[in-house]
Chain A
Amino acid sequence: MKHVTEFRDPALAKGLLADIARRCEQIGATREKPVHIMEICGGHTHAIFRFGLDKLVHEGIEFIHGPGCPVCVLPMSRVDECIEIAERPGVIFTTFGDAMRVPGTRGSLMQAKARGADIRMVYSPLDALEIARRNPDCEVVFFGLGFETTTPSTAFAIQAAACEGLINFSVFCNHITVPEPIRALLGDPHMKLDGFIGPGHVSMVIGTHPYDFIADEFGKPIVVAGFEPIDLLQSVAMVLRQVAEGRAEVENQYARVVPEHGNPASLAAIADVYERRPSFEWRGLGEIDSSGLRIRPAYAAFDAEAKFCVGYGAEGPRHVPEPEGCACGTVMTGRIKPTACPQYGLGCTPETPLGALMVSSEGACAAYWQYGGARGAAA
């Protein structure tokens, strides 16, 4: 945890903390009756813990850690399907490194690689394309994972493969979208949410309008935020100001990077290559309507689901129950803190994760562990 004196602009940070405290008192927010603010993005979760913002702000603020870590919401069955593809002869399976340690029912991709499957960690789908060019006799599959920030990269890669006629390249598409799970959470009567910190880099692609429903239909404020600690404090203050004034609007704290209408070239590539699935499974949250993307029939030659008959391309998606005792789902919906999970720090640690929230630095459990220490110390 950092101290406020280490912030790039300590005076500004102190001013914002004072503003947050004043607003909390104005609206009567206390430790017992806090304002619940969900940060959607896993990068924000990580930043909140890294900079100790949860401890610096007035005790009337409670951060609820949202479902915005793509690795953390990946169902075990999808990991199993990745391994199934990777173990076929002649396949080179490529993936972002983040996905390597997520446990499936037959272990992780890391373990499958150790067993001999040709699984390669790449930085970019462009690397996977290059591997396909260099290995024309192999099927090169890229594990397309992530939210709207990442979706354009695989859309551009599929367009490039189509343009070059690179038919030994395909994408196993597991791209998901941010607004739909937020709609699902807002519709859940058990959820207590008073406002949102919106994801910065997702919004750089989609703009701010996809969040309009949060304000218009559910009457909750949302502020799209950057990743510096000052950005986050400023966004919390903006959410509180809306609560105090009885407003519910979509505000953009990160306008220096996020245009109101997003990135037109990226949105066009997504619309060209992908279409919405009727529903998609999220780890811990279940099936959510319209929350996932699939490759359009025009690009079926580059669709690993169709090529290998797996996932939603098979007879039907296979649901695999969560491991015994794993409470990732309840943590992800903010119903319990990571330390309240019976497996936290016992059956589940970053070295031997049971659930995905312990795998990624953007997962709430891993963040608690890294910055809060073991059970007890983190409480």
Chain B
Amino acid sequence: MCLGIPGQITAITDETRLMAMADVSGVRREVSLAPVADRPLAELVGQWALIHVGFAMAIIDEDEAARTLEALRDLGEAQETLEAMAEGQKALEGTQ
């Protein structure tokens, strides 16, 4: 549960609260940029980040993202994270 998963930041959704939309293996999920907000947020759009429990913890390059995703898929961790994201959505709606 301590592993981050690579995702690509696609848009800033809330500048004040440092929130952004990220694409994680085809799943769209709102994430916090708080750990990496030491630069103008607009610069982060299009970049890859290691995302852990909804927070972009580190900016990584595309090659690193691809290799990490491959390792996480091998471990079954990528699928587990995507399922956890889907569960999180259901929890919001109270439909779990």
Tell whether B68 is near chain A: CB-to-CB under 8 Å. Answer: yes
- A131 to B87 Cα, complex, angstroms: 13
- Contact A43/B88 with A120-B96, A150-B52 known, Cβ cut-off 8 Å: no
Given A47-B71, A98-B1, A156-B32, the answer on whether A123 and B84 have CB atoms closer than 8 Å is yes
Do A146 and B1 contact each other (CB < 8 Å), given the known contacts A46-B75, A124-B53, A201-B52? yes
What is the minimal beta-carbon distance from A132 to any residue of chain B, in angstroms? 11
Interface Cβ pair total, 8 Å cutoff: 144
In whole Å, how far is A41's beta carbon from the nearest beta carbon of chain B? 7
Which A residues lie within 8 Å of B4 (CB)? 149, 201, 204
**Contacts A131-B92, A149-B2 hold; do A263 and B57 have CB atoms under 8 A apart?**
yes
Also in contact, A125 and B54, with CB within 8 A (given A41-B2, A227-B3):
yes
Q: Does B53 contact A121, Cβ atoms closer than 8 Å?
A: no
Interface flags for A198-214 (1: CB within 8 Å of B; 0: not) read: 01011011000000000
A282 CB, min distance to chain B CBs, angstroms = 16
Per-residue contact bits, chain A 24-49, to B (CB 8 Å; 1 contact, 0 not): 00000000000000000111001100
Residue B50 at the A interface, CB < 8 A?
A: yes
CA distance A261 to B64 in the complex (A): 20
Interface residues in chain A, defined as those with a beta carbon under 8 Å from any beta carbon in chain B: 2, 8, 41-43, 46-47, 50-51, 68-71, 94, 96-98, 120-127, 130-131, 134, 146-147, 149-150, 152-153, 156, 160, 199, 201-202, 204-205, 226-229, 256-257, 263-266, 269, 360-362
Residues of B within 8 A of A (CB): 1-4, 17, 29-32, 34-38, 50, 52-55, 57-58, 60-61, 64, 67-68, 70-72, 74-77, 80-81, 83-85, 87-88, 91-92, 94, 96
Nearest first, the 9 A-B pairs at minimum CB distance are A124-B54, A123-B88, A120-B91, A127-B88, A123-B84, A98-B1, A126-B54, A228-B71, A149-B2
